[in-house]
Amino acid sequence: MVEFMDSILAQSLEHLNIVLLMGLAIFFGTAGAGVFRKLRIPMVVGYVTIGIILGPMLKIFSEDVVQTLERFNLFALGVIGFLIGGELKREIFTKFGKQVAAILLFEGVAAFLLVTLLSFLALFCLFDWQTALAVGVVFGAICSATDPASTVNVLWEYKTRGPLTTVLTAIVALDDALAMILYIASVAIAGLLTGNQEGGFAKMAFESLWEVAGSLGLGTVSGLVLRCFIRRTDDEERTLVFTVGTVVLTTGLAISLKLDVILSCMTFGVVLVNLSPRPSLKSFELVRRFSPPIYVLFFVIIGARLNISVISWQIWLSYPMIS
Q: What is the dihedral of CA 74, 272, 163, 295, to 10 degrees?
A: -30
**SS3 category, 274:** helix
Q: Is the pLDDT of residue 285 over 90?
A: yes
CB 190 within 8 A of CB 135: yes
The chain-wide mean pLDDT, for the chain, equals 83
Higher pLDDT, 54 or 195: 54
Q: What is the distance between the alpha carbons of residues 66 and 73, in angstroms, rounded to a whole number?
A: 10
Lowest mean pLDDT among 33-37, 236-240, 282-286, 305-309: 305-309
What confidence tens digit (pLDDT) does each residue in 156-169 have? 888 888 888 888 88
- Convert the pLDDT of each residue in 10-27 to its tens digit: 544 555 688 888 999 999
In this predicted model, what pLDDT tens digit does every residue of 85-135 receive, in sequence order? Answer: 998 889 888 888 888 888 888 888 888 999 899 888 888 888 888 888 888
Report the predicted TM-score, pTM, of the whole model to 2 decimal places.
0.81
> In this predicted model, which residue has the larger pLDDT, 2 or 81?
81
pLDDT at 249 over 90: yes
Task: State the average pLDDT over residues 59-79.
Answer: 87
